[in-house]
Structure 1
Amino acid sequence: MADVEKAIDASPTPIAGVLQMSMVLRDSALLQTSYDDWRDVQACKVKGTWNLHNALSGGKLDFFILLASLAGAVGHPGQANYASANSFLDSFVQYRHGLGLPCSAIDLGGMEGIGCLSDKPVKLLVYRPSGLNMLQEQQLMDAIELGIRYSLPADNMRPTSSHSAFTNMSHFAVGMNSTKPISDPMNRVIFKGDPRISVYNNIVFADQKNVSESKEEGVRELLREVEANPELLREPDTVNRASWEIGRTLFGFLLLPEENLDVSMSLTSIGVDSLVSIEIRNWWRRTLGMDIMVLEVLSDGTIEGLGKLIVLSLQKKYGIEGEGGDDTKESESAN
């Protein structure tokens, strides 16, 4: 407390606002967390916030922003101590508002380029594949701007609708979106099944569905043409079209830039594994109306191999045989 008061007294001008950004991490399983590790993590956020609150109680502040973490809202494995400290920050907003004082809490997700993860590339390699959206510096600045705007207790409580609970605009989270579709089995973000963000997930799912349907329009057009004229399955260009369309679908599953699509790419090189193969099987059944084994997907080798398998499946469905079908089979065997 003495150090905080000393720093305030040393300020050449009156202090107009506070940014409480302190943090200490001592990650471990709860049963292995020592008292010292619990206390060290708690102290900077809990005791530090009380010190700032008490030391500045006599001044007039425009804002009092507490940088918290999503861990306080949704938890995180190995961070019970950190989650608890951040939950305190979230509740402290209500305490200060009850006194008529400004306060806001921002629950941040993982930051990239700045902050504690900026020098931990291994951690980023773990987080990115899980689907966690890494925040950028500008998003933090935008969040702080909102925190300042809604820091005062007046008019920060408002109903979400005429028949539901109130929401506090002074407490919000940033970074609860994902880089992978919610339905993707490779999406391992902790909060994807949290009912508190179900409305947001439904909005995202609808957007993803629209994008997915637009990407699948090429496949549907090909299927309509084949249904009208099954003899198209004898033409080499049909394999090219099928390969391109399954490639677009795969790149959509894996969130890869479509401009890098090359149908000669191997499936393993773009990240197709058993989990993605299950998604391909489901897509195959849903879009083509035919079943395929996961092992068939994995054994085809390349995107073009899957395109040829689509044509072979359609040839079987429509009873198309002959020179074109034999050529396709020979090419498939060569792969």
Structure 2
Amino acid sequence: MKKVILITISLALLATGMAMAADPIPATTETQGITTSTAAVFYGTMTNTESVVWSESNLDLRNNPPLGQTYNIFGIPISSSFLWLKLDLDFLDIDGINIGEITFLAPERQSVMSYTESIIADNGYGEFNGVQALDTGNRVANQKNFNSVEQFDFVAFSDAMGRATTSESLLLDMASQGSDARERFMCPFATGDEGYIPAYCNVYEMGSSFSGSQVSMVTRASENHIAKSADVPTQVDYSVGLSGTGSVVSWINSHVMEGRTGGHLELDDPFGFPIHANFLWNYDTGAPFTGPGTGFMQSVDLTYKEKTTISGVIESFSKSMSVQDAVRRL
């Protein structure tokens, strides 16, 4: 009897009006696009490796960690983890010189995307086809910042100790000090959580590996996390399908920490002073009054892990994993 294993996982994160979700980072003015295509038919040995590590911030990532800015004024620590401050000097127009807006403290968001792939095949006949595309520009919901599709077939020579070993992993790690929802949505009905997209720290990793003497496999990996507005959901997807002789492992690991808006005070030109400020405090822990910490409350701590392992004659195996992390999910 033919055995078929089909596993589908969908991990979706949203809590409307409460703990929120990821706010994508907007693209820089100059963006990049990298595309590669590989095709091979061989008798003997083949190796193929790929590696991507991509960090991006809405501010300057060179001084991270920590996120944001911290100043010590008269012995008092001031941080963008609880205070956002701008000085609006548009009213000063001296000899045609417009000074404009000066930012002193602003919340920061940073993401790290990583992808690794490796194939080593020796003493056998094989076919390999792979296409990878990376784009650092703003994406919409049905577009990807990174996309990989690979097909690999291998049969070891009967008179040699032939073997094929593959591994593939996709990771997305995101952290934020929070955002002003009024500046991040195109949808007029999206208000965030009391006007904010709270702080978060979320990481997702998924992939697969195989080792054996015979295999026919297809893998797909994709993600998007760069967008102009928070209306676009962050998505991570991975799938593997194969049959063969050997051992296969496929997994997903995730850790989600989502925030909630606590106490907050907004100042817009108070008493005529050209100041725009957002002050946030956690009235449960007392931060920042009682010690260091973000002004948002951590209201979600979620860990999700799953791993499937098969060894022997694998007639059919398929596993699909998907994450959608968004304030406005599809």
TM-score (norm 2): 0.23
Q: Name which structure has the greater RCO, CA cutoff 8 Å, separation 6+.
A: 2
Which is greater in Rg?
A: 1
TM-score (norm 1): 0.23
Higher strand fraction: Structure 1 or Structure 2? 2
